[in-house]
Structure 1
Amino acid sequence: MGAKDTTELMPANKRPMHHRCLIVVLGLCLSLTPLHVWSISGDDLPDIGAASGNMFTPAQEKQLGKTFMRYIRATQPVITDPLMDDYINKLGNTLVDHSQGAGSKFTFFLVDSPQVNAYAGPGGYIGVYTGLVLTTESESELAAVLAHEITHVTQKHLQRAWYAASNLSLVQGAALVAAIILGATAGGDAAIAATMGAQAALKQQQINFTRHNEKEADRLGINILHDADFDPHAMPSFFARMGRANKRYGTELPEFLRTHPVTNSRIADSLGRAEKFPYRQRPDSIRYLLLRAHLRERSFDEPSQAVTYFRTLLKEGRYRDESAARYGLSLALLRDDRYQDAAEELNKLIQQRPGTLEFVIAASRTDMEAGNKKKAISHLEQSAHKFPLSYPLQITLAEFYLRAGQADKAYKKLKLLTSLQPENTQTYKLLAQAAATLGNKAESHEYMAMHYYLMGALESSLMQLKIALRVPGLNFYRTARLESQLKKVQSEIDELKKEHDK
Structure 2
Amino acid sequence: MVKRTFQFLIFGLLSLSFQASADNALPDIGGAGYSVITTEQEHKLGEAWARMLRGSGRLYEDALVSQYLEDLTWKLVTYSELTDRRLQIIVIDNPTLNAFAVPGGIIGIHAGLLLHAENEAQLASVLAHELAHLSQRHFAAQLEAQRRNSPLMIASILASILIAAADPEAGVAAMQSSMAASVSSRLSFSRQNEREADYVGMQTLAASGYDPKAMPQMFMQIQQTTRFSRTPPEFLLTHPITQSRIAESQNRAANLPSGQRSSNSIDFNIARARIQARYADKLGELHAHYQTEMTAPSDSLHYALAYTAMLQNNFSTAKQHQTQFSQAFEQQLPSRLLSVEILLKQEKLPQATAALETLYQLYPGNQAVAYLYAQSLTKSNQPAKAVKIYRNYLDDHPRDSRAWYLLAEAYGLAGDIAGVHQARIEYFLQTANVDQALQQIDFAMRENGLSEYQKARLEQQKQEALRVRDSLKMDF
Classify the TM-score, shorter chain.
Answer: 0.7 to 0.9
1:300 maps to 280
- CA separation of 1:474/1:183 partners in 2, compared to 1, >3 Å: closer, same or farther? closer
In the alignment, what sits opposite 1:51? 26
Match of 2:313 among 337, 346, 362: 337
Is contact 1:360–1:380 with CA below 8 Å preserved after alignment? no
Residue 123 (structure 1) aligned with residue 104 (structure 2): yes
Structure 2 residue matching 1:119: 3-state secondary structure: strand
Corresponding residue to 2:444 among 445, 468, 473: 468
Identity of aligned residues (%): 28
Tell me the CA shift for residue 349 of structure 1: 3.4
1:218 partnered with 2:198: yes
1:455-490 CA-partner distances (Å, limit 9, x unpaired) = 334454344333322221112332243245346647
Write the mapping of 1:124-203 to structure 2, written as runs, cut at 5 A: 124-167=105-148, 175-176=155-156, 178-182=158-162, 184=164
SS of residue in 2 equivalent to 1:120 = strand
Counterpart for residue 272 of structure 1: 251
Question: Which of the residues 22, 26, 29 maps onto 2:5?
Answer: 22
* Secondary structure of 2:81's aligned partner: coil
Structure 1 residues 201, 143: closer, same or farther in 2, change over 3 A?
closer
Match of 2:89 in 1: 108
**Is the partner of 2:90 in helix, strand or coil?**
strand
Give 1:289's aligned residue: 269
Q: Over aligned residue pairs, what C-alpha RMSD do you find?
A: 3.6
Out of 231, 243, 261, which is 2:240 matched to?
A: 261
SS of alignment partner, residue 126 of structure 1: strand
SS of the residue 1:91 aligns to: helix
CA contact (8 A) 1:411 1:434 kept: yes
The answer (yes or no) to whether the contact 1:401–1:409 under 8 Å persists in 2 is: yes
Shift of 1:168: 8.7
Q: Which amino acid aligns with 2:20?
A: D
The reply on whether 1:410 has 2:386 as its aligned counterpart is yes
Worse overlay, 406-415 or 276-285: 276-285
Residue 306 of structure 1 aligns with an amino acid whose one-letter code is: L
2:446 maps to amino acid: R
Measure the CA separation in 1 of the matches of 2:322 and 2:435.
Answer: 43
* Residue number among 454, 458, 461 corresponding to 1:478 in the alignment: 454
Distance 1:325 1:189 in 2: 34
Aligned to 2:407: 431
| Residues 411 and 417, structure 2, Cα contact 8 Å, conserved in 1 | yes
Give the conservation status (yes or no) of the 8 Å contact 2:88–2:107: yes
Contact preservation (8 Å) 1:63, 1:123: yes
Shift of 1:430: 2.6
1:46/1:242 CA distance change after superposition, 3 Å: same
Give the distance between the partners of 1:60 and 1:494, measured in 2 at CA: 13
Matching residue within 338, 341, 346 for 1:370: 346
Cα distance in structure 2, aligned partners of 1:480 and 1:169: 46
2:220 is aligned with 1:240: yes
Alignment of 1:302-451 (within 5 A): 305-317=282-294, 322-346=298-322, 348-349=324-325, 351-451=327-427
Distance in 2 (CA, whole Å) between partners of 1:237 and 1:333 is 33
Letter in 2 for 1:309: L
Alpha-carbon distance change, 307 to 396 in structure 1, aligned in 2, over 3 angstroms: same
How many Å apart are 1:21 and its aligned residue? 1.1
What's the TM-score, normalizing by structure 2? Answer: 0.84
Higher deviation after alignment, 482-491 or 388-397 = 482-491
- Are 1:95 and 2:76 counterparts? yes
Further displaced range: 404-413 or 152-161: 404-413
CA distance in 2, matches of 1:259, 1:346: 42
Aligned length: 458
Alpha-carbon distance in 2 for matches of 1:176, 1:160: 17
Take 2:9 and 2:349, find their aligned partners in 1: how far apart are those partners? 44
Deviations 1:197-249 (A, max 9, x none): xxx98966456662211111111111111000001111111113334456544
Q: How far off its partner does 1:403 sit?
A: 1.6
Contact 2:117 2:123 in 1 (8 A): yes
Q: Give 1:155 shift.
A: 0.5
Deviation, structure 1 residue 96: 1.0
Secondary structure in 2 aligned to 1:349?
coil
Give secondary structure in 2 for the equivalent of 1:109.
Answer: strand
* CA drift at 1:64: 1.3
Unaligned runs of 5+ in 1: 1-17, 31-41, 498-502
Contact 1:148-1:217 at 8 Å conserved across structures: yes
Cα distance in 1 between the residues matched to 2:168 and 2:307: 35
- Cα separation, partners in 2 of 1:481 and 1:168, compared to 1, 3 Å: farther
* Residues in 1 aligned to 2:163 and 2:2: alpha-carbon distance in whole angstroms: 14
- Cα distance between partner residues in 2 of 1:228 and 1:221: 11
Return closer, same or farther for 1:20/1:343 CA change in 2, 3 Å cut-off: farther
Structure 2 vs 1, CA of residues 269 and 494 (structure 1 numbering), >3 Å: closer, same or farther? closer
SS in 2 for 1:353: helix
**What SS does the aligned partner of 2:59 have?**
coil
CA distance in 2, matches of 1:488, 1:283: 45
Change (3 A) 1:338 1:398: same
